[in-house]
Amino acid sequence: DAGVIQSPRHEVTEMGQEVTLRCKPISGHDYLFWYRQTMMRGLELLIYFNNNVPIDDSGMPEDRFSAKMPNASFSTLKIQPSEPRDSAVYFCASSFGTRNTEAFFGQGTRLTVV
Amino acid sequence: TQLLEQSPQFLSIQEGENLTVYCNSSSVFSSLQWYRQEPGEGPVLLVTVVTGGEVKKLKRLTFQFGDARKDSSLHITAAQPGDTGLYLCAGANQGGKLIFGQGTELSVKP
């Protein structure tokens, strides 16, 4: 397996534009996580899914952020409209089961909103 | 809200020194994980501790889970420049939620 695949690796966009980040989890994994990493706040959990169903989205900053998982092999995180304070590295991770299992991370998407 | 506090945030030491990183919470976790992150990459798992009081060793790294399963520590003996990186603790609950501490940026100078 190629691991968790995220795209794009880098995204530069203007304030007010819509941004869509994509993630392909490891095949067979039933949990998918979206995190945001900044120097100030560290690695924050935004939302996580179990079997394609959102379980906890309490970390989503505001209504401008939305996430979907239409099937077991694909998830998106959308920001609309984007703002400069959304600039960060966004990570997707997947895991199997809840019994103390390892989360496998993608390489992240570095988002810059100017 | 479950929170994990990690300390110190930054650590700069000389090769050969020992160091300890702490991860504390007021919440109980079903497991505590430690990850290491290199620049431009996602975190990679080092170890998972599950039982209160559990100690695990990975070469020069020793990981301990507190008796009450609320805190953990990472001790590195005789640090080497190759240990440089961001170390993250993460707590998992039974529902599958995985939250991370702020991280400890370690720099080991030759």
Q: Are strands A10-13 and A109-113 parallel, antiparallel or unpaired?
A: parallel
Nearest Cα neighbor of A42 from B93, B99, B63, B49 is: B99
Instruction: Note whether A103 contacts B45, CB cutoff 8 Å.
Output: yes
Q: Kindly state whether A103 is in contact with chain B, defined as any CB-CB distance less than 8 angstroms.
A: yes
Give the pLDDT of residue A58: 93
CB of A7 within 8 Å of a chain B CB? The answer is no
Please give the residue of chain A at the shortest CA–CA distance from B89. Answer: A43
For residue B101, give the amino acid letter: G
| Partner-chain contact B44 A100, CB within 8 Å | no
- Where is pLDDT greater, at A23 or A62? A23
Question: With an 8 Å Cβ cutoff, is A71 touching chain B?
Answer: no
3-state secondary structure labels for all residues of chain B: CCCCEEECCEEEEECCCCEEEEEECCCCCCEEEEEEECCCCCCEEEEEECCCCCEEEECCEEEEECCCCCEEEEEECCCCHHHCEEEEEEEECCCCCEEECCCEEEEEEC
pLDDT per position as a tens digit, A72-90: 999 999 999 999 999 999 9
Q: Is the pLDDT of residue A4 over 70?
A: yes
